[in-house]
Amino acid sequence: MKTLITGGTVVGPLGAVPTDVLVDGETIAALYAPGVASTGGVVADKVVDATGKYVVPGGVDVHTHMKLPFGGTFASDDFESGTRAAAWGGTTTIIDFAVQRTGEVVQDGLAAWHALADGNCAIDYGFHMIMGGVDDEALKAMDYLVEHEGITSFKLFMAYPGVFYSDDGQILRAMQKASDNGALIMMHAENGIAIDVLAAQAVARGDTDPVFHGITRPSALEGEATHRATVLAQVAGNTPLYFVHMSASEALAHVSAARGAGRNVFAETCPQYLYLTLEDQLGAPGFEGAKWVASPPLRPRDEPHRDDLWRGLRTDDLAVVSTDHCPFCFKDQKELGRGDFTKIPNGIGTVEHRMDLVYQGVATGRLSLERWVETCSTTPARMFGLYPKKGVIAPGSDADIVIYDPNATTTISAATHHMNLDHSAWEGFEIAGKVDTVFSRGTAVVAGGAFHGRAGHGQYLRRGLTQYLR
């Protein structure tokens, strides 16, 4: 089946150009100057009018946690509900995290995540591998996954002692392995040992409300861990290093310094750190702040973090905007931490809203139109070995296409979102822009205000190495 998208403006990292797009089956067949296809005899089974709208590559969210076990419960979105919600929001590819815990076999953790996702995804998906126990067998598994499974990125934690934490020696060994095989090390950079001391002291004082989750995870400890990780990566041989969910000015400064020194260091941030604050959300009256408990935490509004993060996106010190989508319902899940903030499951649900929230930065002048596409689609695809299959509107690429209406508006609400979540971290947010139509490999999965996709349409993606190595 051939589909011709006419009248729209195709946006990529290099500019915005009025262009008609011909889709043939699952891929983009050709790009035409406006009107050339129709006058040149191109016959399409369907013509989609995108006049006045942007035509952008489908979003690539490289940080999601569907059905993740955490704090005695599981993330409330599974792969079916989570990928459906992602599609509604213009995201056509996710990369989720398979989990290996200490004492477990890496390949067994991967197999468990394949079982969760297979046949359930509405959009294409891949996996990173969480390394919860770095030992000789796990290091051998890294080579195997890169070579045979298309998994080329491995996540380590400097936080969560007793759960996912790796010490500096384990981190160095994993980085040395990645330096050999070309894999990308993804790092959760917070000093978890110090944080646990601060959290225990707060609980002992009776400071148990959700806001203390943020107060006991100060930005200085994210900065310290970020610097330590960059030093370890340098010692390991300029290992490719990617910091997840960056929230703090201090951390960003260390990334900027490392990049300025020519190292393979990259970072992402998430919408919650661009907009939300410790006082306004995490410090909401009573137990309401539990809705916004995530790690790293939301930062104080009178500190420069949000402005610095937006600046980092403009200067490319921050390469990607992801979501760290890990939703937990307020009832029966977040409520597990009533009376003790350390027991609140960590996570915020945003997979449906990332494209809109970052576009709001375009509407308010914080970000260029091209940079919106670059940080949400093109760079994540290149960073994680999916480009040019994903992340660009070009002949031969997958027909993952979003038609975006800049003249419409979006109001975010739990009453209308499609995530399996009983509240919204973004309740009442007004967005100047709206996802109109979404194609996943040539299939219109969202159109006319309705979902037309299906579980099982999404395919597993074997990824290559990052395309940003120096």
User: For helices 249-260 and 219-235, what crossing angle results, to 10°?
Assistant: 20
The residues, any chain, with a CB within 8 Å of residue 277's CB and separated by 6 or more, are 298, 299, 300, 301, 306
pTM for the structure as a whole: 0.98
Average pLDDT over residues 275-298: 98
Q: Tell me: the pLDDT tens digits for 196-247?
A: 999 999 999 999 999 999 999 999 999 999 999 999 999 999 999 999 999 9
**For the chain, domain boundaries:** 58-383
Which amino acid, 51? Answer: T
pLDDT over 90 (residue 395): yes
User: 106-117 vs 136-144: helix axis angle to the nearest 10?
Assistant: 50
b/e map of 219-258 (b: 16 or more CB within 10 Å)?
A: bebbbbbbbbbbebbbebebbbbbbbbbbbbbbbbbbbeb
Which 8-state DSSP code applies to residue 291? G
Q: What's the rounded mean pLDDT across residues 105-125?
A: 97
pLDDT in tens, 303-328: 999 999 999 999 999 999 999 999 99
pLDDT band, residue 90 (cuts 50/70/90): very high
Residue 470 has pLDDT above 80, yes or no: no
Supply the DSSP string of 367-405, one letter for each residue: S-HHHHHIIIIIHHHHHTT-TTTSSS--TTSB--EEEEE
Give me the phi and psi of 446, to 5 degrees please.
-135, 125
Closest CA to 177 of 232, 244, 247, 109: 232
pLDDT, average across residues 41-69: 97
Section 273-282 average pLDDT: 98
Neighbouring CB atoms inside 10 A of 215's CB total 18
Distance CA 108, CA 110 (A): 5
**How many angstroms separate the most distant Cα atoms in the chain?**
76
CATH fold of 58-383, please? TIM Barrel (3.20.20)
Residue 416 identity: T
Tell me the mean pLDDT in the region 405-417: 97
Q: Mean pLDDT throughout 342-363?
A: 98
Q: Residue 102's pLDDT band (boundaries 50, 70, 90)?
A: confident
Q: Which residues contact 438 (CB under 8 A, 6 or more apart)?
A: 58, 87, 88, 90, 92, 401, 402, 403, 444, 445, 446, 447
Q: Please tell me whether residue 184 adopts helix, strand or coil conformation.
A: strand
Average pLDDT over residues 187-195: 98
pLDDT digits (tens, 9 = 90+) for 11-38: 998 899 999 999 999 999 999 999 999 8
- What's the pLDDT at 157? 97
What's the chain's average pLDDT? 97
Tokens coding 231:
């030093």
Work out the angle between the directed axes of helices 168-181 and 219-235 (0-180°, nearest 10). Answer: 50
Predicted pLDDT at 38: 83
pLDDT at 357 over 70: yes
pLDDT at 429: 97
Q: How far is CA 375 from the centre of its chain?
A: 10
pLDDT in tens, 149-188: 999 999 999 999 988 999 999 999 999 999 999 999 999 9
Find out whether 313 and 275 touch, Cβ atoms under 8 Å: no
